[in-house]
Amino acid sequence: MKSGKLFAGYDFVLVGLTVFLIGWSVLNIYSATIHEYSNLYIKQAVYGILGIFIILFLPLVNYRKLVNLSPIIYAVGVISLIAVALVGTTILGAKRWISLGFFTVQPSEFMKFVIILTTAYILGQTRSKVDLKTLLTTAVVISVPFVLILKQPDLGTAVTLLIPVAVMLFVGGVDKKIILSFITALFIASPFIWEHLADYQKKRILAFINPESDPFKSAYHILQSKIAVGSGQLTGKGFLEGTQSKLFFLPEQHTDFIFATIGEEWGFIFSFLILSVYLLIGLRIVYWGTKVKDAEGKYICFGAASLIVLQAFINIAMTIGLAPVVGITLPFLSYGGSSMLTFSLIIGTVLGVVRVHNLEKPQFS
């Protein structure tokens, strides 16, 4: 089969934008870690190649099969989260990983993909607007992984699970009164939520409000990240020339704070380019979401776009002091196989939706 026919119906603009981010990731992880680790960029390159493979070949599987299998995939995801609690590996005080010998996996990351599929399956069963029964079913389904991830503890990832679900419910036409009631209940419950946050989570929020109050502890990440980004100015210090990361002032410069490394070495112009790429990816997926007639496909598109764009926005906002540090990755750019493969699965599924739409729509000669 010719490659043109094999990849018929693909959105190569979306493919190109995603591959650009993956390549940019390997380049910047090399710069961020070569002074400390010799092979992390090689591992990221392997993750990136696997991600590109998923992006190119997952769409060949009809996404409706994935949606129909979502209850089973969801069950596997929840079991993996329970396994983390029982036999997980603890790193820096958090138990979020399962060791498989040569590498570790973070099941909470993969739940982002699982939740998008499962929510699309639930909402797709109802052909009218989202009713109370569907809403309650969705709430129960999301609450199980949410609680399990929250106990790891991983507030950032737990909250990101809610993003695509909220957007998909909104697209499904959930009653505005329900949305207003939820916001009101959240506001009323905020003191209770605050009291049950871990001490380090409270300190991060207070550090966001007033970083100068604790510059060497809870606010250290934010202050050093802002210094790194600001020092890059318009065009940056140059590739491999970042001082905040190379002199070990900037913590987690290859994971949660990779954007600070980019800002320092490449400056405002390339930082703005990265922001634009995320926006274009989001807009492109939303465009297809408005075109697709199939309900499940539409929900997948809107869920995927919201997760990628808003997670990128939150990550970048925290690196420049516009949001508390919540410990979430920058999609496709941060180091980590679980994150890379999760977002590759999401993009691959979206491309599957696009492919089915393009191949099934009437062709006029």
pTM more than 0.85: yes
Q: What is the pLDDT of residue 50?
A: 97
What pLDDT score was predicted for residue 247?
67
Query: In this predicted structure, what is the pLDDT of residue 19?
Result: 97
The confidence score (pLDDT) of residue 365 equals 41
In this predicted model, which residue has the larger pLDDT, 188 or 186?
188
Asked whether residue 52 carries a pLDDT value surpassing 80, the answer given is yes
Task: Please indicate whether residue 122 or residue 178 has the higher confidence score (pLDDT).
Answer: 122
Mean pLDDT of 210-239: 80
% of the chain surpassing 90 pLDDT: 56
> 307 falls in which pLDDT band (50, 70, 90)?
very high
Region 342-352: what's the mean pLDDT? 98
Percent of residues, the chain, with pLDDT higher than 70:
95
Q: pLDDT tens digits, residue range 213-224? A: 666 666 777 888
Q: Is it the case that residue 18 has pLDDT exceeding 90?
A: yes
**What pLDDT is recorded for position 5?**
82
pLDDT number for residue 94: 76
Confidence bin at 363 (pLDDT 50/70/90): low
Residue 4 scores a pLDDT above 80: no
Stretch 183-195: mean pLDDT = 79
Residue 171: per-residue pLDDT: 92
Q: What is the pLDDT of residue 362?
A: 65
* 75/245: higher pLDDT: 75
Region 333-349: mean pLDDT is 96
In this prediction, residues 14-34 reach a mean pLDDT of 95
pLDDT at 1: 47
Which residue would you say has higher pLDDT here, 34 or 24? 24
Neighbouring CB atoms inside 10 A of 30's CB total 18
Top-confidence residue, 171 or 240:
171
pLDDT at 63: 95
- What is the pLDDT at residue 138? 93
| Confidence bin at 66 (pLDDT 50/70/90) | very high
Per-residue pLDDT at 179: 76
